[in-house]
Structure 1
Amino acid sequence: MPLTNLIGDLLDDLSRPGMPWQIGSIVAAILLGLVVTRLARGWWQRRRGVADAMHAGVDSFARVMAPLLVVALLTLAQFVLNKYRFHTNIVKVAIPIFWSLALIRAAFYLLRRVFARRGQLGEAFVTFEKIFVLLVWLAVVLYITGLWPDIADFLGSYRLQYGPKKNDFVSIDDLLQGIVTIVVMLMLALWAGTALEERLMGMTALHSSLRVALARVGRAVLIVGAILASLRWVGIDLTVLSVFGGALGVGLGLGMQRIASNYVSGFIILMERSLSIGDMISVTSFTGKVTQINTRYTVLQGLDGVETVVPNEMLISGTVQNQSLSSRRVRAGTKITVAYGSDLDVVMPLLIEQAAGTPRVLEDPAPGCSLSRFGPDGYELDLGFWIADPENGQGGVVSEINKKIYALVSKGEIKLGYPSVDTRLLDSHIASVVARIAKTPEDSSPPAH
């Protein structure tokens, strides 16, 4: 039995003089791998900065580098011990264990870099990680115990028929290898696409829309290339994809027009640069800051924090009000009614002074005040000013200016206009009643008989 042989070899090594060298080699490889990894990570953090190192995933990749270094050192130790004719059964068992640890950490690194959003992991993702760990350790146990070749032979001998011809069959071993190859290549493509996107987003010299477009195109090219390469390695004839392409074209023509339109609209938006991340726009009844421009939809974040997913087709076919397309300067204002009799030559410069001293208000163009009209309650003045950050809203700066104006009103420097009631009609009516009473004889009783 393979397991019996393994146990016998390990017990035999315990009684031989080379056993301390094997244990020492394993301990030394682990310590040296950890020390080298820590030194490399510290050097990278000092060179690029802690925040940038975290952003690039260096800390996560260092967890992969440590077991890989241990495997390399154990392989070197095995070669040296074999040269001096020492038994290395314990080292042979340790090498696949650390290989499996490196594989698990590498898979976790790739998965979290690609699928983890904002550092959050879903329950399904965590469950998948646990299942993956269980499968890897099971494979290691089968390999160490020597049962793996028997299982591989069984999987290779069992074949599945997939066509009418006698040669249309595939073994389970080939099928599993094909699935693993496609998944690995796809994961590497997604990881490369994520790294490319982060790299492009850090290039401030390029326009934000161009960076997003290059990142989307680059990821799509990597995914398609990975799928085609994996299918070719598996042995699938790529000419069969022509049938799939025809079916996809029919599907797009019949039932996926809107989806295709949204994808095409997304690339048009990114290429023509009509919208950029950070722009404050209004489309139909939605207003907000553009936080994401994807190939199918665009995300708007309102001033209340609510995010709206807008299909890209609406941004192409509808009217979009962009407050920061060519210039980020936006005019805002507030209205005030001052009482009749106020000196406008004094009040209007005073209002302009309050706006000019408020944060976020631009000096150029300077604030201005104009007389809108003569209202029923007083002079209606319009105080206008400009801001350069429309994504932060106008309510805050308008409130600050209104509070300054209220302070002037409280001091009596500005008199507000109040609604007035015209009482002249009522006074004339009372006067006519009083006149009739005055003309009435004092004794209006009938004469005595």
Structure 2
Amino acid sequence: MTPELESLSEQLAAFLASLEMGARNMLLPSRLTQLAILVVLLLATWLIQRWAVPALRAWLRRREGWPMWRIRAGVVVQRRLPLMIFVTLAWMATWAMQAVTVFPSRSYLLELVATIATALVAVAFASRLVRNPILRKVVRWGLWGFVVVYYTGVVDEAARALDSLAFQMGEFRLSALTLMQALIVTGVLFTGARMVARVGAENIRRNEEISPSMRVLAVKILQIALYGLALFIGLKAVGVDLTGLAVLSGAIGVGLGFGLQKVVSNLVSGVIILLDKSIKPGDVISLGETFGWINTLGARYASITTRDGKEYLIPNEDLITGQVVNWSHSDKFVRLDIYFGTAYHDDPHMVRRIAIEAASGVRRVLADPNPVCHIVGFGDSSVDYILRFWITDPTGGLTNIRGNVYLALWDAFQANGVTIPFPQREVKVLGGSELGTRAVED
């Protein structure tokens, strides 16, 4: 038998011996009485929760208008309500036993179970701070296991047993104890980093002296720095040697650099966009057939929301290499042009004046700079005009404002007798043709 297996068997034997001694202590009359009380408490908890949980669920459903965080908190309390009921009953039984007897052994088991159950409830609520579901479960179950072994006094035995379950390759050794400690410590540090990043991001977003694009960049840098620092401290705190990991990560980085060129290109393009401030949240842009305003700028893509409610995720590389029309880059003034024609018998001076007055009366059309109207040509059946006007809210839509101006022109022309011509065709039947011969015969 190898030395590792001998050490493991000795540790398991010691652990089983401690469990055997604890089982013998449980057979004492005072411990049997406390065990019976705990069984009664479990039965009472089951009976109470059958009424309390549905009542709490129905009460939460009637809370209309509550913010979402309150609803989530209520759901968490509902799921942990049986354990909370048991904790309350266990402490009541402990205090009652301590009041009727002067011997601590008569209430030792009740107090131990009540303490462990209270710690389990505290861990269940504290682990909700970890947002990642998988990491949250790891942190919760790891802390629950630590609570149990800590209060039962077998911390050293459990630590030695977990440390003996190890994987070793050369000088690198990874045990189950180290892995569990790393996951728990990293989860706690990530939670703290997330809370600090959230507070810092809110302060950065409220700072009006920083441009919108630089706010986004500052928030991203803050998050990357905090999460990277949390990972580094978490691994160093449990004694993980990062020298070997540095060489391994370098080799993996070279491989990923070839396989993820597009991803890296989008990441670099996102940083460039934030630095040169060519596009920022709230800008109205056109990219090909897509017209909308920038909702968010991410590390890999930009979210563009159109007027019809669709949200397009445009890769950052396309915003760098493609032709982008930014309607609000330097300012929010946007000029729109519409074309129309009137009959030749209408006075063009009057038509221009009526068109300008009609456009000026439309909401969203600016009075300064004022609309202008020019003749652009003489068509086959109409005098052709261009009407130009300015707006400052392209996020409100372009098609609708053009439609409103066209409608105002229609109403103004109808009121002043201005004619909008349309093509007319005159058909002449020549004599001697088949149709002409039939017409003569008829």
TM-score after normalising by structure 2: 0.69
Residue 387 of structure 2: SS of its match in structure 1? strand
Q: Deviations over 1:138-169 (max 9, x none)?
A: 7766766777776545324x33232146xx54
Q: Which amino acid is the alignment partner of residue 154 of structure 1?
A: A
Match of 1:338 in 2: 342
Gaps of 5+ in 1: 16-49, 116-124, 434-449
Aligned to 1:162: 168
Partner of 1:445: none
The 3-state SS of whatever aligns with 2:328 is coil
Match of 2:122 among 99, 102, 125: 102
Q: 1:355 aligns with which of 337, 354, 359?
A: 359
Alignment of 1:103-122 (within 5 A): 103-111=123-131
- 1:47 corresponds in structure 2 to none
- Structure 2 distance, partners of 1:209, 1:86, is 69
Contact 2:130 2:187 in 1 (8 A): no
Aligned counterparts, 1:229-240, within 5 A: 229-240=233-244
Aligned mate of 1:258, from 256, 262, 287 = 262
Counterparts of 1:420 and 1:387, CA distance in 2: 36
Aligned to 1:307: 311
Native 8 Å contact 2:362 2:408 kept in 1? no
Q: CA deviation at 1:326?
A: 0.1
Q: 1:391 to 1:129 in 2, by over 3 A?
A: same
**1:381 partner SS:** strand
Who is 1:270 aligned against? 274
**2-structure distance, mates of 1:227, 1:278:** 34
Is 2:378 aligned against 1:371? no
Partner of 2:232: 228
What percent of counterpart residues are identical? 28
- Aligned equivalents of 1:420 and 1:294: distance in 2? 56
2: CA distance, partners of 1:285 / 1:384:
23
String of CA shifts for 1:276-329, please: whole Å, max 9, x gaps. 001111234433211121122212222222222222122222322211110111
Counterpart AA for 2:162 = L
CA distance in 2, matches of 1:180, 1:134: 10
**RMSD across aligned positions (CA):** 4.1
Matched, 1:326 2:330: yes
* Aligned residue among 178, 190, 214 for 1:210: 214
Q: Deviations over 1:240-283 (max 9, x none)?
A: 23303431442255333332222111111111111100111123
Given that 2:340 and 2:385 are in contact with CA atoms closer than 8 Å, whether structure 1 keeps it comes out as yes
For residue 407 of structure 2, the aligned residue among 403, 406, 409 is: 403
For residues 247 and 307 of structure 1, do their structure 2 counterparts lie closer, same or farther at Cα, with a shift above 3 Å needed? same
CA pair 420-174 structure 1, distance change in 2 beyond 3 A: closer
CA distance 1:131–1:228, shift in 2 (3 Å): closer
State the match for 1:243 in structure 2: 247
Give the Cα–Cα distance (whole angstroms) in 2 for the partners of residues 289 and 265 of structure 1.
19
With 89-98 and 196-205 compared, the bigger mean Cα shift is at 89-98
Deviation per residue, 1:4-40 (Å, 9 max, x gap): 857945946999xxxxxxxxxxxxxxxxxxxxxxxxx
Give the Cα separation in 2 of the matches to 1:135 and 1:242: 28
The answer on whether the counterparts of 1:297 and 1:312 sit within 8 Å (CA) in structure 2 is yes
Instruction: Give the deviation of 1:179 after TM superposition.
Output: 2.4
CA distance in 2, matches of 1:132, 1:229: 17
Structure 2 distance, partners of 1:130, 1:180, is 10
- Give 1:197 shift: 2.5
Partner amino acid, structure 2, of 1:361: V
Q: Secondary structure at the match of 1:162?
A: strand
What's the TM-score, normalizing by structure 1? 0.68
SS at match of 2:332: coil
1:177-233 deviation per Cα after TM superposition (whole angstroms, max 9, x unaligned): 222222332333234333433332233332110110001111111111111111111
> CA distance change for structure 1 residues 410 and 134 in 2, over 3 Å: closer, same or farther?
farther
Tell me the equivalent position of 1:188.
Answer: 192
Q: How does 1:426-445 map to 2 (within 5 A)?
A: 426=428
Contact between 1:278 and 1:291, CA under 8 Å: does it hold in 2? yes
Secondary structure of 2:279 counterpart: coil
Pair 275,380 (structure 1): closer, same or farther in 2 beyond 3 Å: same
Q: Report the secondary structure of 1:420's partner residue.
A: coil
Relative to structure 1, the CA distance from residue 128 to residue 181 in structure 2 (aligned partners, 3 Å threshold; closer, same or farther) is closer
Q: Partner of 2:185: helix, strand, or coil?
A: helix
- Structure 2 Cα separation of the partners of residues 14 and 58 of structure 1: 38
Query: Cα gap change, 1:6/1:415 in structure 2, threshold over 3 Å: closer, same or farther?
Result: farther
